[in-house]
Amino acid sequence: MDNYSGKIEYRIEAPFFIIKLSDPGRLNSLAGNDYLYLAQLLEKADEDDCVYFTVLQSSGRFFSSGADYLSIGKAQETNKSEPELNKWLSNFVSRNVYVTDMFTRHRKILICCLNGPAIGLSAALCALCDIVYSMNENVYLLFPFASLGLVTEGATSVTLPLKLGNNATYQALMFNEPIKYDKLKGSVITKNYGLNDTEKFNTAVMDELRQKTNHLYLPSILGIKKLLMINIRDQLERANAVEVNDALKCWVKGEPQKRFKELSLKQRKHKL
């Protein structure tokens, strides 16, 4: 298991497995290999019998600005003679299926400490978490799929209607609108800590989690999650498969690559 870029750290403080995005200078943007490493860490947490909670933390002012668009350009330039279908099967489909699958199948309680905005696939992974805490009211989720020539990913075609309702989901996805705190509270976000310092926020969440869990019979928690997920896991897995196959057609046509390149050349404004 290789941490290719050093953007992600982890530590185990049983019963917690804590994963931290640690590249605040680039707004915790993630390349394809970073997402793979994140998924591998979830698998590691799942296999550890001492772990009952997997906690996602971040650093700086953004949770994650999503895909590192510079890495998209590098993938496009690699093996130029390779057919586009083959290239994006390996650079997009297999990766997204695996990453989303690790989140949807994760047996431990997934907790997201949302310190700031989350974009794209990173936002989709937040929506797959069981519990989301926000640092303050300045957080938002943005799914710029339509702006990038893509379709939904990370099972958002299920999670967003389920948590936000159909009409709010249509509005956010069709018109590339950020989903702000007032719509997230009570649907995606369970508690707002009202803080302005990410490290203090991360510490406050962990302190409260330790207090809340010290009297619980932890195997019961995993049993409860298993039962709660019975009704929606099949939907999530089906959505994951359909989403990546539909998105593959977009990559083969070349529209997302063109738009990511425009972002890298500052010819297109990123709606952050």
* pLDDT tens-place string over residues 51-98: 999 999 999 999 999 988 666 656 556 656 667 766 666 667 788 999
* 220: Cβ contacts below 8 Å, ≥ 6 apart: none
Helix spans in the chain (H): 32-47, 69-77, 84-88, 94-104, 120-127, 156-164, 166-174, 181-184, 198-213, 218-253, 255-264
What interhelical angle do 218-253 and 255-264 show, nearest 10?
100
Q: Is the per-residue pLDDT at 153 higher than 70?
A: yes
* pLDDT tens-place string over residues 101-139: 999 999 999 999 999 999 999 999 999 999 999 999 999
Q: Residue 222: is it exposed, middle or buried by C-beta count within 10 angstroms (0-12/13-18/19+)?
A: middle
Domain ranges of the chain: 8-199+218-265
Question: In angstroms, rounded to a whole number, what is the distance separating the alpha carbons of residues 108 and 245?
Answer: 28
Triad 132, 136, 141: Cα angle to 5°: 55
Question: In angstroms, rounded to a whole number, what is the distance separating the alpha carbons of residues 156 and 124?
Answer: 6
* pLDDT tens-place string over residues 157-202: 999 999 999 999 999 999 999 999 999 999 999 999 999 999 999 9
* pLDDT tens-place string over residues 128-138: 999 999 999 99
Question: Does the global pTM surpass 0.75?
Answer: yes
The catalytic residue positions are: 153
* pLDDT tens-place string over residues 212-237: 999 999 999 999 999 999 989 999 99
The CATH homologous superfamily to which domain 8-199+218-265 belongs is 2-enoyl-CoA Hydratase; Chain A, domain 1 (3.90.226.10)
